[in-house]
Structure 1
Amino acid sequence: MVDDTCNILVIEPLSVPQDNKEAFIATLQYTLETAIQAVYKLEPDELDSERLGEGKYLLFWEASEGGAGVLSQLLQQPNAFQRIAHAALDICHFLEPKDTCVQACYECLLSYRNQFDHPLINRHLIKPLLEELQGSAVEISGVFRDEQYQKLLSQTDPNSNFERVVLQEIYQRGYKLPDAAQELIPEANCKPDFVYKEEAIALFCDGSVHDNPEQKKQDKIERDNLRYNASYQILTLRHDEDWREKLEILGSL
């Protein structure tokens, strides 16, 4: 018996035209799958999907071992579906028309993997929805955000109250929460206090222990490794400075 875990996302389309319903859902499935792969630079075998409940739901899951955490990121980024919709309009030849593509082609939505659905796929059916999604925003329920906040609190260094003060400030301002706390970045052999993975931002909360000269030297080595070996942006907050002002950069995530 083999156990595996992966991120999943279930979507329930609400505005589904009753005529061509099956074709609409099938087209939406492959359009979203292809656009997510494009936006987040995933290989075709890293993301998969299927229709559930007679087409009432669309199930997406990260098929590669471990996953890239993309589907969870979709729920944490207010403009995620705006980006996906824009990519989908481009993929479906609506931004740069292709006269030889009638309903769909192998340059947009058709593939060997979805060949049994080729008769259903029609890019024109989902154009109005994609245009509407360009003005959409993801709203995260309080429960989901609270769970993430509590999870991050449990991951912080028990000896660093400053980390928890910073995390509380991020939470109370309504900023995007970090993806993880105290997680090892192998390329740099370093554990930032908090990490934003997609944005490649490492956040360090330096309490008084980091005033020690030897600790400062070690901090510089680790953070240079993060910057140059793992291409992370470093955001350092010191306990003895106006660190709250520095946090404003997170408001744009």
Structure 2
Amino acid sequence: MTADVATGGQGDRATERPGHSFGCAQDRPVTPSASHRVIMRLTYGDAATLWRINLGWRRRKNEEEYGFILDVENGYWATNKDAAETDPEDPLSVRTERVIPFVEDRRNCLLLEPIERLAPEVMASLQPALKNAIQVHYQLEDNELAAEPLPDSDQRHILLLYESAEGGAGVLRQLVEDPEALSAIAREALTLCHFDPDTGADLHRAPGAKEDCEAACYDCLMSYINQPDHALLDRHAIRDILLALREATVRTSPTGESRAEHLRRLQVLCESDLERAWLAFLEEHNLRLPDAAQVIVDACQTRPDFLYTEARVAIYIDGPDHDQPDVKTRDVQITDCLMDAGYTVIRFSYRQETWTGICTQHGYVFGNPQL
């Protein structure tokens, strides 16, 4: 699930790096309208596969030589000297092989990719600021959320956040599904970095602190875990981007294409102006778009106007003819069949003034309307 963070109005790409790779379970991008300026792209992966790969010593002489030497007979790690002394023709020689160890796990992950390339000190400072703000906002322990730069600490182009606790807390998904969540996180980050979240004014220090914070301190960005980054940390470097995120809105698409592209595809598949009006209503109120349109459900020999496939929700946009008794009877039969097949059926009539109430009633499907 991917979303664009846009300013100027209301408004899971898999990546890989040496030593760390990321498999995204769901990719859902979004592109706002022309009146919005996209500043960041979010990609969420639900129970995505993570590999942590150890490519070798940091200070190895040959940067292109990956892995470690393993004594395959005794199961002990060997030295490079042992590898050099290995003679395949000598039966008494130690048998060694070069291996690249890795571990694999499945975690809820979120990639944050700024649209414009940011300076290393900005990315390094944004990493603990957002991580700490998420932990405070959602009341997480420090060991429940992890953050790392991608592709590596020397090239900080993307920020990877993942729920490190077993099972995950489910908070990262909210950052792409709740249009206001990231704004709240940005406000929390501003507060943690000693800025007024409303005006952006520098408050200089944390409440109760005896000294001013110049660039970073252990009350804002610094921790024992990120000591290698301490020279880069600067709370002033991220003030403007946090203020921008505070005013930004997240707009999400349910497929692997942008929201605008997905919306256009759905509009092409519409068979009535009423269906197109319903899509326009969803877009106007920044509600979740359906995954598909005009897909036949064979079990019931019916073709809902739209489908939310993951939630198994069938949408019908009913015109005035559905007020006829015989059509109503047929609609009831279709609804019963779909419910027996495990679907939830939601019907919108041609009375458009009722649409907001229906969406609010089924917020788990559409999200919360922005009125």
- Work out whether residues 339 and 345 of structure 2, in 8 Å CA contact, stay in contact via their aligned partners in 1: no
Distance (Å, rounded) in 1 between the aligned partners of 2:133 and 2:188:
6
| Structure 1 residue 159: Cα displacement | 4.5
Q: Tell me if 1:27 matches 2:134.
A: no
- Work out whether residues 27 and 120 of structure 1, in 8 Å CA contact, stay in contact via their aligned partners in 2: yes
| Structure 1 residue 14: Cα displacement | 2.3
Q: TM-score, normalised by structure 2?
A: 0.42
- Work out whether residues 16 and 24 of structure 1, in 8 Å CA contact, stay in contact via their aligned partners in 2: no
The one-character-per-residue Cα deviations of 1:69-106 (angstroms, maximum 9, x if unpaired) are 11111110111211111001000001243161110111
| Structure 1 residue 3: Cα displacement | 5.9
| Structure 1 residue 151: Cα displacement | 1.4
Map of 2:142 onto structure 1: 44
Map of 2:308 onto structure 1: 149
1:107 to 200, 208, 219: 219
Map of 1:122 onto structure 2: 234
1:61 to 121, 139, 162: 162
Distance (Å, rounded) in 2 between the aligned partners of 1:118 and 1:244:
49
Specify whether residues 78 and 100 from structure 1 end up closer, same or farther in structure 2 by C-alpha distance, changes over 3 A only. Answer: same
Which ranges in structure 2 are unaligned for 5 or more consecutive residues? 1-101, 197-202, 206-210, 257-288, 292-306, 314-335
Which structure has the highest strand share of the two?
2
| Structure 1 residue 141: Cα displacement | 1.7
Q: TM-score, normalised by structure 1?
A: 0.61
| Structure 1 residue 162: Cα displacement | 9.7
- Work out whether residues 108 and 172 of structure 2, in 8 Å CA contact, stay in contact via their aligned partners in 1: yes
- Work out whether residues 312 and 342 of structure 2, in 8 Å CA contact, stay in contact via their aligned partners in 1: no
Q: Tell me if 1:140 matches 2:256.
A: no
Distance (Å, rounded) in 2 between the aligned partners of 1:116 and 1:10:
22
Map of 1:196 onto structure 2: none
Map of 2:171 onto structure 1: 70
Rg larger in 1 or in 2? 2
| Counterpart amino acid of residue 58 in structure 1 | L
| Structure 1 residue 246: Cα displacement | 6.3
| Structure 1 residue 116: Cα displacement | 1.4
| Structure 1 residue 243: Cα displacement | 11
Distance (Å, rounded) in 2 between the aligned partners of 1:45 and 1:109:
16
Distance (Å, rounded) in 1 between the aligned partners of 2:232 and 2:356:
53
Which ranges in structure 1 are unaligned for 5 or more consecutive residues? 174-241
Identity %: 37
Map of 2:204 onto structure 1: 97
Specify whether residues 245 and 56 from structure 1 end up closer, same or farther in structure 2 by C-alpha distance, changes over 3 A only. Answer: closer
Specify whether residues 244 and 93 from structure 1 end up closer, same or farther in structure 2 by C-alpha distance, changes over 3 A only. Answer: closer
Map of 1:200 onto structure 2: none
| Structure 1 residue 26: Cα displacement | 0.4
Which structure has the highest helix share of the two?
1
Distance (Å, rounded) in 1 between the aligned partners of 2:133 and 2:369:
23
Map of 2:111 onto structure 1: 10
